[in-house]
Structure 1
């Protein structure tokens, strides 16, 4: 294992683990709401993350791709690839809207303020960052990721060992009182992997393209995917162990933190705000860059208008938006998964044919 593989693995995890994951709302709707069987769902998603991450990183490395568009065009062809790229851009915008709503929920749950306050604050911060190009601020916020992961792990571990109901009771509460993205746990697991692959695809393609060794890139994708699977599993078990105390709560991890310590909940809320900010900037930047050149006057104006429209859309509520936007993005991600699997199968078929030709050829 080399340094490049580890870097790709960490970058892959950082792209996927955004404000939605850290809040616990994603895991609640995609896994915990199905009850105990949701654990099997986390394993399915983890394996998919590993396989898809390996394929995307390795393909990008072989192509030495400079943009995710090159990989999309290779998978779908120029015309269909362009259509997928445009559709993907609009759904990334939807994720940005969800982040604005998430900030509103943090201020409402932790500080008792109206959700609009948090939404407006995040809107101003995102517009200022996109217009002023404050790259140092983004780098500083990105440094919160390891700290946030440590917080989630501490809170989850504590919660797992401090449950106050039987497994049967928790399973019944989880299945009866929580909304899920699908009626079937397996479909929910597929949707979670596919929507996150859709979100992480652009960045993973670029990172993979920067690596000259395709095997190292593929290994990084596998390690990152398995790491994601472990984190999802731990958070799901932590939420499940306390599901009877999390009914109707927008930010489950924040609620768990408040039960451990009021100070910890304040620290967790700040970390969540930083994570939401980082994700929101990334999503709105990707959307605006699709239609205007970054740092241009048109880009700044387009960014300001699109984020303000996003604020209006975010008033639909965080949990409701997560349950609407993410599954729809997951269905778009299915197209990516099918194309990747087809490309992999075609590559395997060609490799087998080459082996058969060598075996059939006369010995020289």
Structure 2
């Protein structure tokens, strides 16, 4: 894995971790509520992450894509691609709002601050970062990833070994954990929940992954980065899911479960974990507001910076609806868009799996974009 592959893998993981499972709240709703069977659901999500990351990064590299919109037009055609782009952009903005709310909940749970304070601080950081160039944004997102991975893994593994609840007791508690809802109804089983989790997160990671893939002219390296990032995400989800299940008896009603696990080990570790969570949430918030702002203006321009600041401030206001409520509302809806993306990406792979990068690059549709 060369430096391009590594950067793609780290950035892919960073964006999804902040939006998908850094707090533990999402994994709790999507997987842990199904008991031990939820572990199988997390394996389903892991396989999908690797496959989808590979294909998106490869297509973007071949196209030398400058935005996710170009990739969508190749996958769906110009008219349908435009519709999907508008819908996806709308829900990505919703995820950005969720991240601002998550920052408020994290600082509130750890330091007793009003949720609005944490949300304001995150909004300021997002606006300041979006004033950088694209490469600078990607470098920042990638740089914090190794430390964050070590933190999450260490706390989760330790929590698994220090769990005091029996399997029967934990299984009974899992029945009281509200699982994710989809189209107004609870998702009936772990397999569908794993698919929906992957579909939501690929919708979150798609815009930034498309941009990063387009920065390298090595499709194989880009594909390897997508696979590596996807498998890394899968391992983390599985470990975190097991850790949450092992401590489920003390996580009911907690908005930021991973923070409580850190607090149980040592108060100072909880402080470090809260800072790590803020960094994870920050990376996703930047990715979401970047993707949304790029829908209306060219990155690195003054218009882009002004619009991004306006969108972030509006998002701050909307974030006061509450973190858990926003997660349960926005994520399943974005999952529908993600399902459409998964189908389109799978069909693209079926059509092009036997074609070389050179043959694909010569495709008139690719050259046109």
Give the 3 Å change call, closer, same or farther, for CA 288–215 of structure 1 in structure 2. closer
Task: Give 5+ residue unaligned stretches, structure 2.
Answer: 182-186, 357-369
Maintained 8 Å contact 1:19/1:272: no
Are residue 322 (structure 1) and residue 332 (structure 2) matched?
no
Maintained 8 Å contact 2:11/2:141: no
Alignment match, 2:318: 313
Q: Which moved more, 1:20-29 or 1:190-199?
A: 20-29
Alignment match, 2:362: none
Give the 3 Å change call, closer, same or farther, for CA 206–132 of structure 1 in structure 2. closer
Residue by residue over 1:145-202, the C-alpha shift from the partner in whole angstroms, topping out at 9 and shown as x without a partner, is: 2111111011001011011111121122112233424232222111111111111112
Q: Distance in 2 between matches of 1:302 and 1:55?
A: 31
Alignment of 1:135-214 (within 5 A): 139=139, 142-181=142-181, 182-214=187-219
Give the 3 Å change call, closer, same or farther, for CA 145–94 of structure 1 in structure 2. same
Maintained 8 Å contact 1:41/1:185: yes
Post-superposition offset of 1:307: 1.9
Give the 3 Å change call, closer, same or farther, for CA 78–196 of structure 1 in structure 2. same
Are residue 28 (structure 1) and residue 33 (structure 2) matched?
no
- Secondary structure at the residue paired with 1:315? helix
- Secondary structure at the residue paired with 1:83? helix
Q: Distance in 1 between matches of 2:142 and 2:353?
A: 38
Post-superposition offset of 1:62: 3.1
Q: Distance in 2 between matches of 1:235 and 1:335?
A: 27
Maintained 8 Å contact 1:178/1:247: no
Maintained 8 Å contact 1:34/1:180: no
Q: Which moved more, 1:26-35 or 1:113-122?
A: 113-122
Alignment match, 1:70: 70
Maintained 8 Å contact 1:56/1:205: yes
Alignment match, 1:92: 92
Q: Distance in 1 between matches of 2:329 and 2:151?
A: 28
Q: Distance in 2 between matches of 1:179 and 1:10?
A: 29
Are residue 245 (structure 1) and residue 250 (structure 2) matched?
yes
Q: Distance in 2 between matches of 1:135 and 1:55?
A: 22
Q: Which moved more, 1:114-123 or 1:342-351?
A: 342-351
Q: Which has the larger radius of gyration?
A: 1
TM-score, length-scaled by structure 1: 0.88
Q: Distance in 1 between matches of 2:292 and 2:151?
A: 30
Task: Give 5+ residue unaligned stretches, structure 1.
Answer: 352-364
- Secondary structure at the residue paired with 2:113? coil
Q: Which moved more, 1:272-281 or 1:57-66?
A: 57-66
Maintained 8 Å contact 1:20/1:99: no
Q: Distance in 2 between matches of 1:69 and 1:148?
A: 30
Q: Distance in 2 between matches of 1:93 and 1:34?
A: 29
Post-superposition offset of 1:131: 5.3
CA RMSD in angstroms comes to 2.5
Alignment match, 1:106: 106
Q: Which moved more, 1:115-124 or 1:46-55?
A: 115-124
Q: Distance in 2 between matches of 1:194 and 1:134?
A: 25
Give the 3 Å change call, closer, same or farther, for CA 60–102 of structure 1 in structure 2. same
Maintained 8 Å contact 2:16/2:204: yes
Aligned length: 351
TM-score, length-scaled by structure 2: 0.87
Post-superposition offset of 1:215: 3.3
Alignment match, 1:121: 121
Q: Distance in 2 between matches of 1:330 and 1:230?
A: 21
Maintained 8 Å contact 2:20/2:201: no
- Secondary structure at the residue paired with 1:17? helix
